[in-house]
Amino acid sequence: MAWRSLHLSRPSRLSLADGQIVIAQEEGEVRLPLEDIACIVLDTPQATVTSALLAACMDAGVAVMVTDSAHRPSGLLLPFHRHHRQAGVAQVQAGVSEPLRKRLWQAVVRAKIGNQAAVLDSVGRQGAAGLRAMARQVDSGDTRNVEARAAREYWASLWEGFRRDNDGDRRNALLNYGYAVARAAVARALVAAGFLPAFGLGHASAANAFNLADDMVEPFRPFVDRLAWTVAGEGAGGPQPITLEERRAMAGVVTAEARIGGDAMTLLVAAEAVAASLFRAMEGGSAALLALPSLPR
């Protein structure tokens, strides 16, 4: 089972040999079993990858993410048709009724807000009780947009004076980097489960190929938030670019501990469990079958 992510920030040549990823750098060569890798982040413009390795990554279900010249995640490569019942899963997904879709979105939003409350508790901030009360107010489809109201309360409590739309605040760069990695993990899990990620629950943009991933990543976002708070601290964020060490730290969110029911697991494994439960919920016609992650306190 894949259990690790690979973050490359120095000039590298990646190739395939004997079922292993071969990473050649100036100091020498490292080999890693392909089956251990869930996600590769190419965070350098000086990385070359052989087509044989890319094909093997797609065959093994490895997500490959690239960054732009400013080290911002800018692209994601995922495999096609990896599930043995691809057409059957797609039929179930396409046949989800509107009431069920809305109930599933309700569960996702409630889980997200609950995890936001857990973040505030874990970093010693006020406001968790209010967020939990708001989570209980989320109705089917979140018609009253409680998610957005909770977000305003949450960010104001987490960092004083913080705004998510401030591109000059390095804390937003930390968050966006971590969100992209978490999104890649969720998209990978959904594709492996046979879903068509373009067709979402709450997200429905015609220009977005990953609407469903953007839905199901929502309860995972607070895991990124807590990690960003740990990296940045509680002070104000300046305009400085985030460092290599900070990017590596944020890429490590996939190994953060998550809980589903009474079981502890990494975020990577949790994403796979969520994808499997989403299919059960759709096939069984019950949002109660959807298992979502909770953030340990």
**Which domains can be identified in the chain, with CATH numbers?**
4-77 (3.100.10.20), 86-289 (1.20.120.920)
Residues in Cβ contact with 38 at an 8 Å cutoff, skipping those fewer than 6 apart: 2, 3, 4, 5, 61, 62, 63, 185, 188, 254, 268
Q: N- to C-terminal Cα distance for the chain?
A: 27
Q: What is the pLDDT along the chain (297 residues), one digit of tens a residue?
A: 677 889 999 999 999 999 999 999 999 999 999 999 988 999 999 999 999 999 999 988 888 999 988 888 888 888 775 556 777 888 999 999 999 999 999 999 999 999 999 999 999 999 999 999 999 999 999 999 999 999 999 999 999 889 998 888 999 999 999 999 999 999 999 988 999 888 999 998 887 888 999 999 999 999 999 999 999 987 767 888 899 999 999 999 999 999 998 899 999 999 999 999 999 999 999 999 999 999 987
pLDDT at 97: 95
Distance CA 219, CA 194 (A): 21
pLDDT at 240: 84
Distance CA 19, CA 31 (A): 10
pLDDT at 233: 85
pLDDT at 4: 83
30 sits in which H/E element: strand 28-33
Q: Cβ distance 154 to 126 under 8 Å?
A: no
Tell me whether strands 20-25 and 28-33 are parallel, antiparallel or unpaired: antiparallel
Distances (CA, A) of 173 to 112, 228, 232, 238, 273: 21, 9, 11, 11, 28
In this prediction the pTM is: 0.89
Q: Which amino acid is at 170?
A: R
Give the SS3 label for residue 257. Answer: strand
